[in-house]
Amino acid sequence: MGPENSLIKKYIIIFFVVSGYWIVSISTVFVNKTLLSNIELDAPIFINLSQTLITVLICVAKKILSTKYPNKITFPQEDIWDVKIIKEIFPVSLMFTTMIATNNLCLKYVSVSFYYIGRSLTTIFNVILTFLILQEKTSKKCIICCAFIILGFWLGVDQEHFAGSLSVAGTIFGILGSFSLSLFSILTKKVLPKINGEIWLLQYANNVYASILFVPIMIFTGEFNVILNYSRLNDSFFWIILFVGGICGFLIGFFTSLQIKYTSALTHNISGTAKACAQTVLATCWYQETKSLIWWFSNMLILAASAAYARIKQLDMAQQHLQNPAYTKV
């Protein structure tokens, strides 16, 4: 197979992976917003815990089935409590825990439409962290794109403030979410080769470790008392949507790792930014929100700058691939 056919095959795989990520991610945001909008149940970490526990149960079930039907179902048999595994994966898991916690806290305080702007600095942090951790420099053209992303973020925040709907807490959690997502993506890309690219192993370990980390946080914030005093614990709809949120949480984690594996940390972040733009349009229609022209301009500015950034990196990928067919970084 020549370099050109190999590149086409790679793009087809990436297309299906990214499409799956978009569908699952948008669904997850809307389901989580429904859960987090429940004023009586002020327990965002509990929602995180329910999602990580459901993912753990799915992984355990698959692991058990893999031992009974090894010819049909496979699952990594590594012990996640092995010191070597913990040493390799725990830094990723710590960022995974921080990422999903700050994402939900951001979503709790802001609208789904502003959620996009609030977390639009992911690419900026990715450039900074890639330089600090991987010692990879960024071109001047990419720096210019980053400047426009920052401008779009500032305009969006300013318009929310002007409309009287700005949440400082939500914005801060959005920035922290962007930072933790960037660092999580970079660490995931570094760790996957060390565990033979086993996405299921990483998914399993991340959610087990995160579930443990969430417990002391819930004790500290008093969420256990909130849950015990919740009046709708017997409501089947509450448990159904909580379960659906857990399934979405599992799928988003799986597709995130898959997208990073077949592309890169940078491409994953850019894909997430573009997805969030579509998500914003859907949210404004669904919740019948009215936004100013400058507000929409800030969204388009972020999207255009992110797209330009992606195009620059894509051209670099194509050039590197022609020079070396084994090149896989996007």
Residue pLDDT tens, the chain, 330 long: 555 667 777 778 888 888 888 888 888 888 888 888 877 778 899 999 998 999 899 999 999 999 988 888 889 888 899 998 999 999 999 999 999 999 889 888 888 877 777 777 888 898 888 888 877 777 788 889 899 999 988 988 888 888 878 888 989 998 999 899 889 988 888 898 888 888 889 989 999 999 999 999 999 989 988 888 887 778 888 888 888 888 887 888 778 778 877 777 667 666 776 787 778 888 888 888 888 898 889 888 888 888 788 777 767 666 666 665 544 444
**What is the three-class DSSP state of 144?**
helix
| DSSP letter for each residue of 198-264 | -HHHHHHHHHHHHHHHHHHHHHHHTHHHHHHT-TTTT-HHHHHHHHHHHHHHHHHHHHHHHHHHHS-
**In this structure, are residues 149 and 306 in contact, taking their beta carbons and an 8 Å threshold?**
yes
Q: What is the pLDDT of residue 328?
A: 46
Angle (CA) 311 22 178, round 5°? 70
DSSP per residue, 275-323: HHHHHHHHHHHHTT----HHHHHHHHHHHHHHHHHHHHHHHHHHHHHHH
Residue 233 and residue 75 in contact, taking contact as beta carbons nearer than 8 Å? no
Orientation angle between helical segments 3-36 and 236-262, nearest 10 degrees:
160
Side-chain half-sphere CA neighbours of 26 within 13 A? 19
The token duo for 328 is 């896989």
Q: Which of 86, 122, 59 is nearest to 213 (CA)?
A: 86
Residues in the chain, total: 330
Q: What are 321's two structure tokens?
A: 């691939």
Q: What is the CA radius of gyration of the chain?
A: 20
CA distance 282 to 115: 12
Q: Which residue type, as a one-letter code, is found at position 28?
A: T
pLDDT for res 107: 86
Q: How many CA atoms lie within 13 A of 96 on its CB side?
A: 29
- At residue 160, φ and ψ (nearest 5 deg) are -65, -40
Buried b / exposed e over 231-261, threshold 16 CB at 10 Å, is: eeeeeeeeeebbebbbbbbbbbbbbbbbbbb
Answer whether 180's CB lies under 8 Å from 99's CB.
Answer: yes
Q: Which pair of tokens denotes residue 90?
A: 């725990």
Whole-angstrom Cα distance, residue 91 to residue 186? 11
Q: Locate tokens 């349009």: which residue?
A: 281
